[in-house]
Structure 1
Amino acid sequence: MLEYLDTIPAGETVRVQASKDMISSTYEIKAGSAEETVNGVLIQDIVSDSPAEVAGLQKGMRIMQMDDVPMRTVYDFRAFMNTTSNGQSVKLLLADNTSKTFEATVQLASHPDEGGQKGFLGVYTSQDEDVMTSLGITVGEFPATSYLSLLKSIPEMLKGTVGWIILLGLPIVGFAGEGFPGFSGMLANFYAPAGWAEPLGIGLFWIANSLLWIGWLNFYVGLFNCLPAVPLDGGHIFKDYTKAFIYWLTKNEEQSLRLSSAVTATFAMLIFMSFVFMVFGPYIVHGF
């Protein structure tokens, strides 16, 4: 999208299709002037024994300019590198974590995947900040790799308390407060089945969604069944333990049965009333 918008002159009208809450709309927006702010391109990693490593470039630095060409986005970086050749010297303007800038000159090597003609710097780059476009909207790169890594890490995290807390609130809170609606919508747009799942196509997301919600609902039904309220299983277990404890104190079977029944009934009523309050409490306070 950023590459396309760079070719749109100021004043030209662009038709944009956008979707929100599964409803698609079409907008006609007149392009303005592109943002002149240059935040640079983040260096995520350095290829070993590459020209970048030889020149002293480090992970976390930003490439601000290459031969006086501003690097606003990763697309600017790719476009510039596509014009380079093996052995070419490139002057870089770099910035570190403190925003201090300095220059470095790098002699490019031969690109290992481009037939030896294209220049090779040896850095992994990313667009870690949103970019303001000429349409007046900001565009950012979706953190697909990070998001997928978080999902993959959940089974391993279940070995500890944190993993279970995340699982409990996943559909409601998500990873960053945005909620996790399942494998649909945004995720279906940014990911595609691969390998053995590729023939399933979009059907894979339907299967994953079904398994997610069936598993999550069963998990919560199981937790609900553990509440100490008769006739739930948790209520019967609570009643038996209460009866055994009272009998240990009183040595009276009839009294322990009567008291344990009263305690269990009280807990059941409190739990029931708490649910009623959660449903109707906001209406009582703020009105219907």
Structure 2
Amino acid sequence: ATPLPIPLVQGVYQDYPAAEAGIQGYSVITEINGTPVKTQEEIAAIMEGTRPGDTISLTAVKDGVESTCTLTLAEWPEVLGGDRDSGFMGVYYYSAPAVKERLDMIADLGLLAPLYLTIVPIDAFIQGNTMQLAILLADTPEQMAWEEPFPLFWGLVRLLFWTGWFNLLVGMFNAIPIVPLDGGYMMKEGVERLFERLGWSQQYAQRVVASISGFVTVMLILLITMPLIGAAVRSVLAMG
């Protein structure tokens, strides 16, 4: 798929002009002050000529419905570049080219790329779409920022992603050194052969196998539960 530089608003900053005017996430900005715009760069060029306190007219399309609103621009917040002189609408965009660059970086990992992609659904579930790769997981509005090479392209991508993801995770899980998994039986056979070669009792070998299986089980439980507990704690603290 080819990334398109369309001005797709991914979200708005609360208590800033766009939010107060009712601009919603996944709207596509089509005009500013009656001037048609097709890219984020064209919007940036227009906004460079504005100042805080200026009023602009903004037209956007969401779900096929066009709406026009008036915004009184604010100053740029310090965390986003408070030294800018131009006015601030309070929107942030979905950048398909940036996502394409991230996907290319993942592809450059070679054989490690599938392992990296295994964390994408987990990351999206725990932290939200932080890596902007949710487009690989399900039908999302971000698709409009990509030119598909053929119909049902993203459906095929997701089918291949989830098929590979589940197969890879099943294989990785089966390799864990816990009896009765295959990895556990391989570990058990290795320990028993080692003890046999050293002339040690097989009874101790069984204890070692049980200890390793128990330790790995505990670590696996912690690995799964700690991120969920951390996310829950952050949510509670945010509510407080």
Length-normalised TM-score, structure 2 = 0.53
**Residue identity in the other structure for 1:206:** G
Paired position in structure 2 for 1:57: none
Q: For the Cα contact (< 8 Å) 2:56–2:73, is it kept in 1?
A: no
* Residues 16 and 191 of structure 1: CA distance in aligned 2, closer, same or farther (over 3 Å): closer
The answer on 1:6 being equivalent to 2:45 is: no
The answer on 1:208 being equivalent to 2:153 is: no
Q: Which of 217, 220, 227 pairs up with 2:169?
A: 220
Q: Which has the larger radius of gyration?
A: 1
The answer on 1:247 being equivalent to 2:234 is: no
**Residue identity in the other structure for 1:171:** P
Paired position in structure 2 for 1:115: none
The whole-number CA distance in structure 1 between the counterparts of 2:87 and 2:92 is 6
The CA deviation at 1:189 is 1.8
Give unmatched runs, 5+ long, in structure 1: 19-23, 38-128
The CA deviation at 1:2 is 5.5
* Residues 137 and 146 of structure 1: CA distance in aligned 2, closer, same or farther (over 3 Å): closer
The answer on 1:229 being equivalent to 2:178 is: yes
Q: For the Cα contact (< 8 Å) 1:229–1:268, is it kept in 2?
A: yes
Q: Which of 106, 109, 112 pairs up with 1:154?
A: 106
The whole-number CA distance in structure 1 between the counterparts of 2:71 and 2:144 is 28
Paired position in structure 1 for 2:131: 178
C-alpha RMSD of the superposition: 4.3
The CA deviation at 1:30 is 4.7
Deviations 1:218-237 (A, max 9, x none): 11211111111111111011
* Residues 205 and 230 of structure 1: CA distance in aligned 2, closer, same or farther (over 3 Å): same
Q: For the Cα contact (< 8 Å) 1:132–1:138, is it kept in 2?
A: no
Q: How many matched pairs? A: 171
The answer on 1:267 being equivalent to 2:222 is: no
The whole-number CA distance in structure 2 between the counterparts of 1:179 and 1:268 is 37
The CA deviation at 1:4 is 0.9
Q: Please give the secondary structure, in 2, of the residue aligned with 1:237.
A: helix
The whole-number CA distance in structure 2 between the counterparts of 1:185 and 1:274 is 35
The answer on 1:188 being equivalent to 2:133 is: no
Paired position in structure 2 for 1:144: 96
The CA deviation at 1:213 is 1.2
Q: For the Cα contact (< 8 Å) 1:229–1:236, is it kept in 2?
A: yes
Give the percent of matched residue pairs that are identical in Structure 1 and Structure 2.
Answer: 16
Higher strand share: 1
The whole-number CA distance in structure 2 between the counterparts of 1:189 and 1:143 is 11
The CA deviation at 1:11 is 8.3
Q: For the Cα contact (< 8 Å) 1:173–1:180, is it kept in 2?
A: no
The whole-number CA distance in structure 1 between the counterparts of 2:97 and 2:160 is 22
The whole-number CA distance in structure 1 between the counterparts of 2:229 and 2:95 is 37
The whole-number CA distance in structure 1 between the counterparts of 2:75 and 2:218 is 60
Deviations 1:103-155 (A, max 9, x none): xxxxxxxxxxxxxxxxxxxxxxxxxx9x866xx43254x43234224324534
